[in-house]
Structure 1
Amino acid sequence: MSGPAGAYLDGTPDGRLHLQHGPIDLVIGLAYDAAADRQSALRERAHRQAARRFSTILDELVRELPLLKAQAHPGCRQPSGTIARKMMAAVLPLSGAHFITPMAAVAGAVADTVLEAMLDGFDKEECPQRIYVNNGGDIALFLQGEADWRVGMARDDGTGLGAFTVRASDPVRGIATSGRRGRSLSMGLADSVTVLAETAAAADAAATIIANAVDLPGHPAVFRAPAHSVVDDSDLGARLVVTGCGDLDAGEIAEALDRGLTKAEQLRADGLIDRAALFLRGGVRIAARRDEIHPKDFEKFAKPEMHGHA
Structure 2
Amino acid sequence: MLSELTRRTYGHDPIQILSNGTVLVDYGPMYMLISAFENGKSLIHLAEEGAHLAIQGLEDLAKFLSVLKKKSQELEIEGEFPDVVRRMIEATKKMEEPDLTPLAAVAGTTSDVVADFIFSKGGTKIIVDNGGDIAIRLREGEVARVGVKTEIDARHPTFLISIDSSMGIGGVATSGLGGRSFTKGIASAATVLSETASLADAAATVIGNFTNIEDPSIMKSLAEKIYPDTDIAGEWVTIKVGKLSQEKIGEALDNGLSKAHSICQKGLIKGALIALKEKAVWTESLNSCLMRL
Whether TM-score is above 0.5 comes out as yes
CA deviations over 1:179-215 (Å, ceiling 9, x no partner): 0121111000000011000100100000000000112
Name the structure 1 match of 2:3: none
Whether the 8 Å CA contact 2:23–2:48 is kept in 1: the answer is no
Counterparts of 2:165 and 2:289 in 1: how far apart (Å)?
17
Whether the 8 Å CA contact 2:220–2:236 is kept in 1: the answer is yes
Whether the 8 Å CA contact 1:31–1:128 is kept in 2: the answer is yes
Whether the 8 Å CA contact 1:111–1:200 is kept in 2: the answer is yes
- Structure 1 residue 291: Cα displacement: 4.6
Indicate the structure (1 or 2) with the bigger Cα radius of gyration. Answer: 1
Name the structure 2 match of 1:302: none
Name the structure 2 match of 1:18: 24
Counterparts of 2:239 and 2:206 in 1: how far apart (Å)?
17
1:149 aligns with 2:158: no
- Structure 1 residue 20: Cα displacement: 2.2
Counterparts of 1:215 and 1:141 in 2: how far apart (Å)?
30
Counterpart selection for 2:226 from 230, 237, 241: 230
Shift >6 Å, 4+ stretches: none
Counterpart selection for 1:29 from 35, 39, 46: 35
Structure 1 stretches of 5 or more lacking a match?
300-310
Counterparts of 1:91 and 1:157 in 2: how far apart (Å)?
27
1:100 aligns with 2:96: no
Structure 2 stretches of 5 or more lacking a match?
1-5
1:241 aligns with 2:250: no
- Structure 1 residue 94: Cα displacement: 1.3
CA deviations over 1:125-176 (Å, ceiling 9, x no partner): xx23311011000011110122111121224343432122111111110110
Whether the 8 Å CA contact 1:178–1:207 is kept in 2: the answer is yes
1:84 aligns with 2:85: yes
Aligned Cα RMSD in Å?
A: 1.9
Change (3 A) 1:256 1:291: closer
Name the structure 1 match of 2:248: 252
Whether the 8 Å CA contact 1:215–1:257 is kept in 2: the answer is no
Corresponding residue SS for 1:131: strand
Name the structure 2 match of 1:209: 206
Residue type at the aligned position of 2:76: R
Name the structure 2 match of 1:138: 133
Counterparts of 2:169 and 2:289 in 1: how far apart (Å)?
15
CA deviations over 1:10-32 (Å, ceiling 9, x no partner): 1xxx6100012211121011233
Corresponding residue SS for 1:292: coil
Counterparts of 1:240 and 1:111 in 2: how far apart (Å)?
28
CA deviations over 1:259-305 (Å, ceiling 9, x no partner): 000000000001111011100001111013265245xx138xxxxxx
Change (3 A) 1:248 1:48: closer
Corresponding residue SS for 1:195: strand
* Higher relative contact order structure (alpha carbons within 8 Å, sequence separation ≥ 6): 2
Whether the 8 Å CA contact 1:164–1:292 is kept in 2: the answer is no
Counterparts of 2:67 and 2:90 in 1: how far apart (Å)?
14
Identity of aligned residues (%): 30
Corresponding residue SS for 2:39: coil
Residue type at the aligned position of 2:37: A
Residue type at the aligned position of 1:86: R
Name the structure 1 match of 2:197: 200
Moved more, 47-56 or 110-119: 47-56
Corresponding residue SS for 2:239: strand
Change (3 A) 1:160 1:24: closer
- Structure 1 residue 55: Cα displacement: 3.5
Residue type at the aligned position of 2:69: K
Whether the 8 Å CA contact 2:36–2:44 is kept in 1: the answer is no
